[in-house]
Amino acid sequence: MRSEHLSAVWPRAYQANLSAVGLIELRAHPLILPCSDRTDLVLEEWFFAQCAAVGLKPKIAAEASSPSEAFNLVQDGVGIAIVPGGVCGDAPRDLQCSPVGGLETLQLVLTYRRGVSCRVQKMIADIARGLGGANLAIAG
């Protein structure tokens, strides 16, 4: 549907405001990821491959199932969250968001099971358009 940069999220009081943070600077921090090997294996493998490319073996503190859960974990001091940049507008004011440099852009794709009803297909298309899916395409 579109590509998007990942952003790091941490408490505003934790560190000075940055316009961007490099992936390698995150090596000393526990990370909160929006994916897991159970739910988003491809996304998790992509992230770890990006880390390996710069010689980083990230310390994973938690896996969040939603942006709000990631933000709550950051506020609770669990670690720094890595989230799609598009969700940073919903971050609480006490959190700082900054694009992570050194990562390829993430390709966002919406998938669903084959054979769903026309009503469900319409809902999915509406969601995709709402997310900025100008490049909507239906694949086999």
Give the CATH number of the domain where residue 102 resides. Answer: 3.40.190.10
- For residues 100 and 77, give the distance between their C-alpha atoms in angstroms, rounded to a whole number: 20
Which residues make Cβ contacts (< 8 Å) with residue 22, sequence separation at least 6? 100, 101, 102
Query: What is the layout of strands, in order, in the sheet containing 95-101?
Result: 21-22, 95-101, 6-11, 80-84, 30-33, 59-63
Whether 16 shows a pLDDT value over 60: the answer reads no
What is the residue range of 114's domain? 110-140
Which pLDDT score is estimated for 78? 95
Assess whether 91 and 29 both reside in one domain: yes
Beta bridge partners of 32: 62, 81
Whether 46 shows a pLDDT value over 70: the answer reads yes
Give 91-134 pLDDT, tens digit per residue.
999 999 989 887 777 666 666 677 888 888 787 777 666 655 54
The DSSP call for residue 45 is H
Assess whether 115 and 102 both reside in one domain: no
Assess whether 97 and 121 both reside in one domain: no
Ranked by mean pLDDT, which of 2-11, 16-25, 39-48, 66-75 comes out on top?
Answer: 66-75
Assess whether 27 and 86 both reside in one domain: yes
Say if strands 2-4 and 59-63 run parallel, antiparallel, or are unpaired.
unpaired
The pTM is what?
A: 0.72
Q: What is the mean pLDDT of residues 50-62?
A: 89
Whether 17 shows a pLDDT value over 80: the answer reads no
